Amino acid sequence: MKACIYEAYGPADVVTVGEVATPQPKADELLVQVHAASVTTADWRFRASSFPGGFWLAGRMLLGLFRPRNPILGRDYSGVVAAVGRDVTGFRVGDAVFGATMRGAHAEYVAVKAAGAIAPKPASLTHEEAAAMPFGGNSALMFMRDFGAVKPGQRVLVIGASGGVGSWAVQIARHLGAEVTGACSTRNVELVRSLGAHHVVDYTTGSPFGEGTYDLVFDTVGVTTFAGSKHALTAQGTYLPLEGTVGTMAQAVLTSFGKGQKVKHAISSNTREGIEELSRLVEAGVVRPVVDSVLPMARIADAHRLVEGRHKRGSVIVTMEATKPAPSDSARDHRGVASAFASVVGA
Ligand SMILES: NC(=O)c1ccc[n+]([C@@H]2O[C@H](COP(=O)([O-])OP(=O)(O)OC[C@H]3O[C@@H](n4cnc5c(N)ncnc54)[C@H](OP(=O)(O)O)[C@@H]3O)[C@@H](O)[C@H]2O)c1
Assign residue 122 the CATH number of its domain. 3.90.180.10
Residue 279 falls inside a structural domain:
no
- Ligand 1 center to 7 CA (angstroms): 26
Strand order in the sheet with 262-263: 199-202, 179-184, 155-159, 214-219, 233-241, 262-263
* CATH number of the domain bearing residue 243: 3.40.50.720
Q: How many CB atoms lie within 10 A of CB 133?
A: 30
Residue 284 falls inside a structural domain:
no
| Residue 68 near ligand 1, beta carbon < 6 Å | no
- Ligand 1 center to 132 CA (angstroms): 15
| 142 and 166, same domain (yes or no) | yes
Taking CA atoms only, the protein residue closest to ligand 1 atom 6 is 139
User: How many structural domains comprise the chain?
Assistant: 2
Residue 212 has a pLDDT of 86
Taking CA atoms only, the protein residue closest to ligand 1 atom 25 is 160
| 10 and 128, same domain (yes or no) | yes
Contacts of residue 21, defined as CB under 8 A and 6 or more positions apart, other chains included, come to 1, 339, 340, 341
- Inter-residue contact 28 to 87 (CB < 8 Å): yes
- Inter-residue contact 271 to 137 (CB < 8 Å): no
| Residue 175 near ligand 1, beta carbon < 6 Å | no
- Inter-residue contact 127 to 217 (CB < 8 Å): no
| Residue 185 near ligand 1, beta carbon < 6 Å | yes
Residue 322 has a pLDDT of 67
- Inter-residue contact 338 to 109 (CB < 8 Å): no
pLDDT (tens place) for every residue of the chain, 347 residues total: 999 999 999 999 999 999 999 999 999 999 999 999 999 999 999 999 998 777 888 889 888 989 999 999 999 999 999 999 999 999 999 999 999 999 999 999 999 999 999 999 999 999 999 999 999 999 999 999 999 999 999 999 999 999 999 999 999 999 999 999 999 999 999 999 999 999 999 999 999 999 989 999 999 999 999 999 999 999 999 999 999 888 999 999 999 998 899 999 999 999 999 999 999 999 999 999 999 999 999 999 999 999 999 999 999 999 997 644 444 433 333 322 223 222 222 22
| Residue 137 near ligand 1, beta carbon < 6 Å | no
| Residue 311 near ligand 1, beta carbon < 6 Å | yes
Amino acid symbol at 32: V
| 155 and 99, same domain (yes or no) | no
pTM greater than the 0.75 cutoff: yes
Taking CA atoms only, the protein residue closest to ligand 1 atom 15 is 164
Taking CA atoms only, the protein residue closest to ligand 1 atom 36 is 311
Distance CA 269, CA 314 (A): 18
| DSSP bridge pairs for 158 | 182, 218
- The 3-state DSSP class for residue 76 equals strand
| Residue 165 near ligand 1, beta carbon < 6 Å | yes
Contacts of residue 98, defined as CB under 8 A and 6 or more positions apart, other chains included, come to 76, 77, 78, 79, 118, 119, 120, 121, 122, 127, 130, 131, 133, 134, 275
Show the domain range for 308. 2-133+289-342
- Ligand 1 center to 310 CA (angstroms): 6
Please state the three-class secondary structure of 205-244 as a single string.
HCCCCCCCCEEEEEECCCCCCHHHHHHHEEEEEEEEECCC
